[in-house]
Amino acid sequence: MGLQTATLTGIGPLTVHTTFVTGMINKLAQLVSHLIFETYDAARSSANARDSTLRAKRKQNAAQALFLTTIWTFYLAGASAGVWLFSRWGLRALYVSAALLLVAIAIDQVWPLSIQEELEQSER
């Protein structure tokens, strides 16, 4: 799990910890909270130059919240599929996980995610 955490930590501007799920819940709750307050501020403010800045920030937070929600949806779907497959196939269900891992490795060989992350780290 440490290797998984060290391998994939960021996708675009959002840091994602695939093994630190409570941290992702915390980040999702923060984003939703920001969205609620930004929506309230936008509804109460008058039309001025700040509105475009607030709109852009709200759009960014909404996109990040949607992304984290999507990750959690995939976690739930994977867990549900794993339970269902295990009830049908027993330990042979692990073949599905291994096959999906091989597909992910093959895709990463063609379109690596790590290149962008390595560039960002070298700039620091």
**What's the angle, vertex CA 31, arms to CA 28 and CA 36, rounded to 5?**
125
Nearest to 12 by CA among 122, 123, 124, 119: 119
- Would you say residue 67 lies in a domain? yes
What's the number of domains the chain is made of?
1
Reading the block at residue 61, the tokens are 């937070």
Tell me the per-residue pLDDT of 99-113, one tens digit each, with 9 for 90 and over: 998 998 898 888 876
124 domain residue, yes or no = no
The reported pLDDT for the residue numbered 11 is: 57
Q: At what angle do helices 49-89 and 94-110 cross, to 10 degrees?
A: 140
Is 123 a domain residue?
A: no
pLDDT of res. 64: 87
Q: Is 14 helix (H, G, I), strand (E, B) or coil?
A: strand
Q: Is the pTM of this model over 0.75?
A: no
Note down the domain range covering 101. Answer: 2-118
Tokens 């939703």: give the residue. Answer: 32
pLDDT in tens, 23-46: 778 888 999 999 998 888 777 776
Q: Which residue has the higher pLDDT, 82 or 47?
A: 82
Annotate 83-96 with DSSP letters as a single string: HHHHHHHGGGGHHH
Q: Is residue 11 part of a domain?
A: yes
In one-letter notation, the amino acid at residue 111 is: W
Does residue 76 lie within any of the structural domains?
yes
In angstroms, the CA 72 to CA 21 distance is 9
Cα separation, 50 vs 121, whole angstroms: 32
